[in-house]
């Protein structure tokens, strides 16, 4: 079994759960923030939607440099635009990961800023930490934002106060 074959089922599960969460984002609350230092609901939702893109970047390159504009923030002004862009990112990322050989998974990948290396890890480790774990972390934040703005919170790893297991 290829390494990518072990990541894809988890990716698919997290993608579906994330989509359910993004579907709950209230368009009239895109500018809401719980604190002056926090992201707005709209920016956080866009960040959650764009994070799987790291998987495509990892699969198709050996590095990413923030200062060179290699990372593009998703900008959506409404829920449907957010979901449409998310669906495209997930489809592209799934295909990119599925197409990686074990040899590619073990190659080094670096995250840089203005030529300065922030991290270098095997691609599989970057997929696990900087894509999956980072994505799940911010989805957790988004679920709290949903609660605080009065939107229902979907079942994620178990029942939520708004719905049972699905």
pLDDT band at 166 (very low <50, low <70, confident <90, very high): low
Show me where the domains of the chain are located.
Answer: 3-148
pLDDT score of 137 more than 90? yes
Supply the mean pLDDT for the chain. Answer: 95
Fold of 3-148: 1.20.120
pLDDT digits (tens, 9 = 90+) for 13-28: 999 999 999 999 999 9
Comparing 110 with 70, the larger pLDDT belongs to: 110
Task: Write a three-state SS string for the chain.
Answer: CCHHHHHHHHHHHHHHHHHHHHCCCCHHHCCCCCCCCCCCHHHHHHHHHHCCHHHHHHHHCCEEEHHHCCCCCCCCCCHHHHHHHHHHHHHHHHHHHHCCCHHHHHCEEEEEECCEEEEEEEHHHHHHHHHHHHHHHHHHHHHHHHHHCCCCCCCCCCCCCCCCCC
Span 69-96, mean pLDDT?
A: 95
pLDDT score of 164 more than 80? no
User: Exposed/middle/buried for 34, CB within 10 Å: 0-12, 13-18, 19+?
Assistant: middle
C-alpha span between 153 and 162 (Å, rounded): 6
């Amino acid at each position: 079994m290829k390494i990518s074959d072990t990541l894809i089922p988890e990716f698919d599960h997290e993608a579906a759960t994330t989509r359910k969460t993004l579907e709950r984002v209230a368009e009239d609350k895109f500018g809401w923030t719980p604190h002056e230092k926090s992201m707005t609901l709209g920016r956080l939702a866009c960040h959650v939607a764009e994070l799987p893109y790291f998987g495509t970047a990892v699969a198709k390159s050996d590095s990413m440099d923030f200062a060179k504009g290699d990372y593009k923030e998703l900008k959506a002004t409404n829920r449907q635009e957010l979901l449409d862009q998310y669906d495209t990112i997930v489809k592209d990322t799934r295909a990119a990961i599925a197409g990686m050989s074990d040899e590619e998974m073990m190659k080094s990948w670096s995250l840089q800023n203005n030529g300065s290396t922030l991290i270098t890890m095997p691609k599989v480790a970057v997929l696990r930490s900087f894509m999956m774990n980072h994505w799940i972390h911010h989805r957790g934040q988004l679920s709290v934002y949903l609660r605080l703005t009065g939107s229902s919170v979907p079942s994620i790893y178990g029942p939520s106060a708004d719905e049972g297991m699905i």
